[in-house]
Amino acid sequence: MSKLKSIEELQKIRQAAKDNLDLRSTAESEDRIIIRVGMATCGIASGARTTMNAIVDELREQNITNVSVTQTGCMGYCAEEPLVEVVFKDKPSVIYGHVDAQRGREIVNEHIKNGRLLQNAIITKSFEKID
Amino acid sequence: MNNYRMHLLVCGGTGCTSSDSLKLVDELKESIEKHGISNEVEVVITGCFGFCEKGPILKVYPDDVFYVTVKPEDAEEIVEEHVIKGRQVERLLYVEPNLKVKLEGQKDLPFYKKQIRIALRNCGFINPEDINECLAADGYQALAKCLCEMSKEEVIETVIKSGLRGRGGGGFPTGLKWKYTSNNASDVKYIICNADEGDPGAFMDRSILEGDPHSVLEAMAIAGYAIGAEHGYIYIRAEYPLAIHRLEIAITQARELGLLGIDILGTGFNFDVELRYGAGAFVCGEETALIHSIEGARGEPSTKPPFPAQCGVWDKPTCVNNVETLANIPPIFLRGADWFRTIGTEKSPGTKVFALAGKVNNVGLVEVPMGTTLREVIYDIGGGIKNNKEFKAVQTGGPSGGCITKENLDIPIDYESLNSIGSMMGSGGMIVMDEDNCMVNIAKYYLEFTKEESCGKCTPCRVGNKRLLEILDKITQGNGTEQDLADLVELGEIIKDTSLCGLGQTAPNPVLSTLHYFYDEYLAHVREKKCPAAVCESLLSYIILPEKCVGCTACAKVCPVPCILGEVKKTHVIDQSKCIKCGACYNTCKFSAIAKR
């Protein structure tokens, strides 16, 4: 590591380090968006892991920091795997089916970034949960 | 850089590492490796989360799930269930004892709800051995701001304006200390970080150094800039090996980046830090004794004036600040003195870290705004008294402090209010006592400590405290008289008035405060020769309750004398003339048939 000669150099190294820590501050942020990837046996078998890694990668590429990607068990709709659920705070959740890496990146760019749903990929716009 | 989607944070403080948290880390890493997801998930060792009662702690990001009492053998299940399948391991979640519900997030826990973490902001959030994580959490930003945008006077003015007071116990305004040291002209000056934490049960300084060492280094550099010092010492106990280890790593990393050393950030300011190890003498927490110890002399205090600000280490102007005080400095510069003043009370702004210990459900490290009441700390955060026993008193300020009773539980905590009820803030030790604690014994315990730790330089402390202890010993043996109680008060007051340093001036406090609040208990010891809490061995006897005894003979078998008589399935009796009061029968009986009276 070379010595920092100025405040600008400090800011530069801090920004680089910050990206790595975003994952932790995201959990605390108020406007957190959650992306859940169905990762039960069925999901994993149909490639959910590749999907999830693509989503994580795209989020970083686009520098989006208020999204936490998490995994969940079987969502029940195994025919449409891999399944991805997008939850905005105070909005009904949206579930996408047949999400491969390509579609995962589209979700990040269209739904998360531009607020446009991928109409052709939605399974149901929402579902009722019994608490 | 790896694209981690998940961070597993494991507490690497002294508390959790002694319950195998590092082994847990190894197991987690191994399991993650085995499942081929090591490029997705990172395991991070952090500083203390504070919730030591339930350690080891594991926190999962970004899911914000908080696991407690995690054992190494749980690693496989956490990886398979949570990391891979996204199912929480329910049995490892914290269970709210009153409502019996499982809580998921750290913020949901009652233990954390009333806390505001300023000094502990990065403990349990960053990896203390990686300067990059510290930089990402705004480390060294305050230093950069001070060096590039502020004059020395402005830096000192900001600290004065914030109202920050010494967290080591004295409560002296930190900004004024800086100002006095700055005003004394000298070619060389020093800044010292006092990490000689000695109060029994207090461990906030250790936790800060273990969890966020850079915040202390950064604050020392800021102080150095303000007072005109280029050299800093951290005086730390050799018995804090983990804190020393992490400090050494932090100092090396900061030097590599040029955040310590010559020409910091190209501003022409030079500052470096050196560690000095203390051998663990309590008196070396006193600043003049500490300075003598750094110089290689005996750790004995000297009279003030001259104050260290005039004539300190190597006879140069020196500023001594406590670890927790320093940890508060960077946030004050990043968020402003006005922000700091919005927290806490008018005269004591900010927060205080307390080491909650004793008969309370959630022991651990808590940081609360000044002005929080003791009731909130003990009942809301601490979860109340263990086993639903009756609260008796809380001891604050360690061996220099005093006891606070139920009547004063609603007093807001700050420097003045604690002094007004005969105790003190001290460094933040808080020991909770229940009905089973004998107050005479507690006073004796603290006095044993101060008697041991007295450096012997001045007579009132060296001889006086020994005499105090002898009287207490006599009382607990059942040989005390009412005159002894009067002597305790008189002698105690004299020691307070005539001792040289803070140690002697405060050593009688535990005795005087327990005498004040629990005079009846002392009286019971001397008049009736009884210990109401059934602690003092000479004053109690073990008896067998006939209605509960089933005649299992278990007590008779363990009695070493033997003095327990009785046949199988018939009530047993203890021969009091032979009983040595070892308590073996009491601990063995499964039917609670043996009582201490």
Which pLDDT value is given to residue B317? 97
Whether B506 and B460 have beta carbons less than 8 Å apart is answered as: no
CATH of the domain at B409: 1.20.1440.230
Mean pLDDT of B28-39: 91
pLDDT digits (tens, 9 = 90+) for B308-321: 999 999 999 999 99
Strand locations in B279-379, DSSP E?
318-322, 351-358, 364-369
- Mark whether B407 and B440 lie in a shared domain: yes
Closest chain A C-alpha to B63 CA, distance in angstroms:
7
In a domain, B328, yes or no: yes
CATH of the domain at B264: 3.40.50.11540
Instruction: Give the residue from B517, B539, B561 where a domain finishes.
Output: B539
3-state secondary structure B271-289: EEEEEEEECCCHHHHCHHH
What is the percent of chain B where pLDDT is above 70?
99
Q: Identify the CA nearest to B133 among candidates A29, A106, A84, A22.
A: A22
Question: Considering just the CA atoms, what is the radius of gyration of chain B in Å?
Answer: 27
CATH of the domain at B592: 3.30.70.20
DSSP per-residue codes, B236-257: EETT-HHHHHHHHHHHHHHHHT
In a domain, B355, yes or no: no
Whether B206 and B119 have beta carbons less than 8 Å apart is answered as: no
ipTM above 0.85, yes or no: no
Whether B464 and B511 have beta carbons less than 8 Å apart is answered as: no
Closest chain A C-alpha to B455 CA, distance in angstroms:
45
Dist. CA B466–CA B406, nearest whole Å? 30
B379: alpha, beta or left? (left if phi > 0; alpha if psi -120 to 50): alpha
φ and ψ of B388, to 5 deg: 55, 30
- Mark whether B393 and B445 lie in a shared domain: yes
Which pLDDT value is given to residue A130? 57
- Mark whether B546 and B534 lie in a shared domain: no
Chain A, nearest residue to B3 by Cα: A57
What DSSP designation does B54 have? Answer: G
Full residue range of the structural domain in which residue B564 is found: 541-596
Q: Identify the CA nearest to B512 among candidates B400, B356, B406.
A: B400
In a domain, B356, yes or no: no
Instruction: Determine which helix (DSSP H) or strand (DSSP E) holds B8, and give its type and residue range.
Output: strand B6-11
Whether residue A24 and residue B7 make contact (CB cut-off 8 A), yes or no, is yes
pLDDT at A131 over 60: no
∠ Cα B18 B24 B27 (to 5°): 145
Both tokens of residue A92? 């009904």
3-state secondary structure B94-108: EEECCCCEEECCHHH
pLDDT at B98 over 90: no
Chain B, nearest residue to A42 by Cα: B85
Which pLDDT value is given to residue B488? 96
Burial class (CB in 10 A: 0-12, 13-18, 19+), B307: middle
Chain B, nearest residue to A22 by Cα: B136
Dist. CA B582–CA B588, nearest whole Å? 12
Whether B230 and B267 have beta carbons less than 8 Å apart is answered as: no
- Mark whether B332 and B255 lie in a shared domain: yes
Both tokens of residue B240? 């804090």
What DSSP designation does B118 have? Answer: S
pLDDT at B74 over 90: yes
Which positions in chain B touch A71 (Cβ < 8 Å)?
Answer: 84-86
pLDDT confidence of B43, banded at 50, 70, 90?
A: very high
Instruction: Give the residue from B522, B539, B556 where a domain finishes.
Output: B539
pLDDT at B507 over 60: yes
Whether residue A1 and residue B256 make contact (CB cut-off 8 A), yes or no, is yes
Residue labelled with tokens 């398979």? B80
Closest chain B C-alpha to A12 CA, distance in angstroms:
10
In a domain, B450, yes or no: yes
Mean pLDDT of A105-127: 81
Dist. CA A19–CA A26, nearest whole Å? 11
Dist. CA B196–CA B428, nearest whole Å? 14
User: Which A-chain residues 69-128 have CB contacts (< 8 A) with chain B?
Assistant: 69-73
pLDDT digits (tens, 9 = 90+) for B188-247: 999 999 999 988 889 999 999 999 999 999 999 999 999 999 999 999 999 999 999 999
Q: Identify the CA nearest to B44 among candidates A107, A63, A92, A23.
A: A23
pLDDT digits (tens, 9 = 90+) for B466-497: 999 999 999 999 999 999 999 999 999 999 99
- Mark whether B57 and B151 lie in a shared domain: no
Which pLDDT value is given to residue A28? 67
Both tokens of residue B289? 């004794």
Give the mutation candidate from A5, A6, A15, A21 for the B interface (greatest B CB count, under 10 A): A21
Q: Domains in chain A, start-ordered, CATH in brackets?
A: 30-121 (3.40.30.10)
Which pLDDT value is given to residue B293? 96
Both tokens of residue B472? 């207490």
∠ Cα B503 B504 B507 (to 5°): 80
Which pLDDT value is given to residue A5? 85
Both tokens of residue B210? 């273990």
- Mark whether B165 and B282 lie in a shared domain: yes
pLDDT digits (tens, 9 = 90+) for B413-453: 999 999 888 888 888 999 999 988 999 999 999 999 999 99
Residue labelled with tokens 């363990």? B558
Whether B454 and B552 have beta carbons less than 8 Å apart is answered as: no
Instruction: Give the residue from B492, B514, B539 where a domain finishes.
Output: B539
Helix (H, G, I), strand (E, B) or coil at A68: strand
Whether residue A53 and residue B40 make contact (CB cut-off 8 A), yes or no, is yes
- Mark whether B551 and B512 lie in a shared domain: no
Q: Which amino acid is at B162?
A: S
Which pLDDT value is given to residue B499? 94
- Mark whether B413 and B429 lie in a shared domain: yes
pLDDT confidence of A127, banded at 50, 70, 90?
A: low
Which positions in chain A touch B257 (Cβ < 8 Å)?
Answer: 1, 3-4, 13
pLDDT at B383 over 60: yes
Q: Does A45 touch chain B (CB under 8 A)?
A: no
pLDDT confidence of A1, banded at 50, 70, 90?
A: low
Max distance between CA atoms of chain B, in angstroms, equals 88
Mean pLDDT of A39-65: 85
In a domain, B177, yes or no: yes
- Mark whether B215 and B97 lie in a shared domain: no
Which pLDDT value is given to residue B240? 93
Closest chain B C-alpha to A3 CA, distance in angstroms:
4
- Mark whether B381 and B405 lie in a shared domain: yes
CATH of the domain at B27: 3.40.30.10
Mean pLDDT of B130-143: 93
pLDDT digits (tens, 9 = 90+) for B529-578: 999 988 888 888 898 999 999 999 999 999 998 899 888 888 999 998 88
Q: Which amino acid is at B100?
A: K
Half-sphere exposure at residue B40, Cβ-oriented, CA atoms within 13 angstroms: 21
Q: Identify the CA nearest to B47 among candidates B134, B166, B140, B168.
A: B134
- Mark whether B533 and B556 lie in a shared domain: no
Split into its structural domains, chain B has a count of 4
- Mark whether B413 and B454 lie in a shared domain: yes
Dist. CA B264–CA B475, nearest whole Å? 61
In a domain, B503, yes or no: yes
Which positions in chain A touch B141 (Cβ < 8 Å)?
Answer: 10, 14
Chain B, nearest residue to A65 by Cα: B62
pLDDT at A110 over 90: no
Higher pLDDT, B122 or A31: B122
pLDDT digits (tens, 9 = 90+) for A71-82: 777 777 777 888
Whether residue A56 and residue B135 make contact (CB cut-off 8 A), yes or no, is no
Which positions in chain B touch A13 (Cβ < 8 Å)?
Answer: 132, 135, 257
What DSSP designation does A2 have? Answer: P
Question: Bridge-partner residues for A68, per DSSP?
Answer: A34
Question: Bridge-partner residues for B276, per DSSP?
Answer: B235
Residue-averaged pLDDT of chain B:
92
pLDDT confidence of B2, banded at 50, 70, 90?
A: low
DSSP per-residue codes, B378-438: IIIIS-SBGGGPPEEEEEESGGG-EEEEGGGTTSBPSHHHHHHTT---TTSEEEEEETT--
Which of A14-28, B14-28, B362-376 shows the lowest per-residue confidence on average (mean pLDDT)? A14-28
Whether residue B1 and residue A19 make contact (CB cut-off 8 A), yes or no, is yes
In a domain, B119, yes or no: no
How far from B24 is each of B77, B420, B464, CA to CA, in Å? 12, 47, 50
**Pairing relation of β-strands A84-87 and B6-11?**
unpaired
pLDDT at A124 over 70: no
In a domain, B211, yes or no: yes
